[in-house]
Chain A
Amino acid sequence: MPFSKHSIHLISEGNEKKFRCLMEFISDDLLLFAMGFIRKKEIAEEIVSDVFVKTWKTRSNLTEIENLKAYLFVSVKNSCISHIRKNRKENLITLDGFDDYLAPTVECPESEYINNEKLNEIYLAIEQLPPKCKLAFSLAKFNGLKYKEIAEVMEISEKTVNNHLVFALKKLSESLGIRKKKLRK
């Protein structure tokens, strides 16, 4: 596993092959995450790549990082936010970058419980979630992060992560329920 202690140790000693494995394993997720902040794929790619460059250059410190995955997400987040800051003409906006996060669009095979219409309902409901709630949900669902990792990336407590996810699931479920009621009328 690319995030095992052993692999990280090898990377910290300069093992290029392990480093490539790590990049290939996690870059899709980091790109998706970055694209939620920076809509342009080209720029998001560059940001993720620069984070890897920095990670490699400071590899000797890697073994001291508690959770490398969360660390990479945090680095990508910080780079995205500073990119957004730099490119906003008005510097006075205090921005933590979360207010404008865009969840990725999804594709889903139809099943007994879900079809294209329902998928659309869910997607609309995600878009209407409060910004931080949307980000927490997106990190859990689309990037597969655990509560602890989400907490680290968003700089909030695990309890708050839990609250965000409960709120999100309730809202999504409601959006599905409302539709059902409408149909019954």
Chain B
Amino acid sequence: MRKKDKLYELLAKELNSTLSPEEKALLNDSLANNEPENEQVNALRDFWNKAYPQHFSHTITARTEKKLGLTYRTNSFTRSQFVYKIAASVLLLLSLGLSGLLFLKDHNSPSLMEYHSNTREVKQFELSDGTKIWLNGGSYILAVEPFSGESRNVKLYGEAYFEVAPNAEMPFIVETRHLTTKVLGTAFNISSWPDSKVQQIELYEGKVKLEADENWENEIVLTPGQRARFNAENGDFQIGEHGKSTAAAWRNGILNFYNEELFSIVLQLEKKFETRVLVSDSEAGKLRFTAEFSDEPLEKILLLLSEAKAFKYNITEQGVLIQSVN
């Protein structure tokens, strides 16, 4: 039994690539004297060297850079997009097997699509089912198209406005962090930025159902004109009126706020002006504003806001610092 342990100790070292030449000789010796083990040892070697876990495509790099504000370049996206495509086609081949191969001959083969907009850029796309999507700057959407199965699923990072093509048989589902939004045919805006705790959904037409993930098991239904804010930290929904007559005005470069806290306003300013805006205390952060801006520069917006409700601000090369007046 001891001898056997020694053999496996050497084998483990070999597999871990830490075997010295002397030990290598020792291992070969004990294998030569141990005919019946050989086959098993070779099977284990093959397993170790050739068996690999299934590869999962993921967006860790992109989402980390986004959280850190490092993604203001495109090449990281296109690189990970390339990796997705390889990973996705491998997965598809594996999961679809032969039928997948047949499908691939067809032009309608399902493939992973990535829609993506750069900072300061609003892009419009039409999905294969006729759904129209406007992506706000620095956002992206993933979807396997053409859609098949029971629902049309897409993943959203950032902010987008949807005009979903009606199809009662196949609900349209938007997945964001800890939240899914299910719809039939409707127009709505989702803002789910990685750097904000709160996600916001504004409904303009139709009906949507919001479901928090299984940590919270909380769900609500929105009707037109309503806005829901979802806080992933406590699983709570807050429902109010969005008070906007124009759907997703950011599509035309317009910023509009309706009874919104300065904390959430600065996040949108940061995105629009590609700068850091820091609110140093919650007294200032909790001030609420209703306002609309289109072409005004940042300085003007800050001036107007601070005239409406007083706060101090300081613009430097690194960004903007906002403080309460007291």
Q: Which residues of B contact A48 (CB under 8 A)?
A: 60
Q: Which residues of B contact A58 (CB under 8 A)?
A: none
Q: With an 8 A cutoff between CB atoms, is A111 at the interface?
A: yes
Interface of chain B: mostly helix, strand, loop or mixed: helix
Check A52 against B60 for contact (C-beta < 8 Å).
yes
Quick one: given A45-B60, A162-B12, are A107 and B65 in contact (CB under 8 Å)? no
Assembly CA distance A31 to B53 (angstroms)? 12
Closest to B45 in A: A113
Check B16 against A108 for contact (C-beta < 8 Å).
no
Q: With an 8 A cutoff between CB atoms, is A98 at the interface?
A: no
Quick one: given A23-B64, A45-B60, A166-B9, are A142 and B53 in contact (CB under 8 Å)? yes
When each residue 215-238 of chain B gets 1 if its CB lies under 8 Å from chain A and 0 otherwise, what string results?
100000000000000000000000
Check B8 against A113 for contact (C-beta < 8 Å).
no
Q: Which residues of A contact B11 (CB under 8 A)?
A: 169
Interface of chain A: mostly helix, strand, loop or mixed: helix
Interface residues of B in 45-77 (CB under 8 A from A): 45-48, 50-56, 58-61, 63-65, 67-68, 70, 76
Q: Which residues of A contact B63 (CB under 8 A)?
A: 45-46, 49
Q: Which residues of A contact B55 (CB under 8 A)?
A: 28
Q: With an 8 A cutoff between CB atoms, is B259 at the interface?
A: no
Q: Which residues of A contact B42 (CB under 8 A)?
A: 112-113
How extensive is the interface on chain A, given as a class? 35 or more
Number of A-B contacts (CB under 8 A): 131
Assembly CA distance A32 to B44 (angstroms)? 21
Check A114 against B58 for contact (C-beta < 8 Å).
no
Closest to A173 in B: B40
Q: With an 8 A cutoff between CB atoms, is A151 at the interface?
A: no
Assembly CA distance A166 to B41 (angstroms)? 12
Check B47 against A122 for contact (C-beta < 8 Å).
yes
Q: Mark B residues whose CB is within 8 Å of A.
A: 4-5, 8-9, 11-12, 15-16, 18, 36-37, 39-48, 50-56, 58-61, 63-65, 67-68, 70, 76, 79-80, 94, 177, 215
Give the top 7 A-B pairs by smallest Cβ distance, nearest first: A108-B51, A104-B53, A165-B12, A173-B40, A27-B60, A52-B64, A113-B42
Q: Mark A residues whose CB is within 8 Å of B.
A: 16, 19-20, 23-24, 27-28, 30-32, 35, 41-42, 45-46, 48-49, 52-53, 56-57, 87, 104-109, 111-114, 118-119, 122, 140-142, 146-147, 162, 165-166, 169-170, 172-173, 176-177, 180
Please give 11 more A-B residue pairs, beta carbons under 8 A apart, in addition to A28-B56, A107-B53, A114-B47. A20-B61, A23-B60, A42-B177, A49-B60, A57-B68, A108-B50, A111-B50, A113-B46, A165-B16, A169-B44, A170-B4
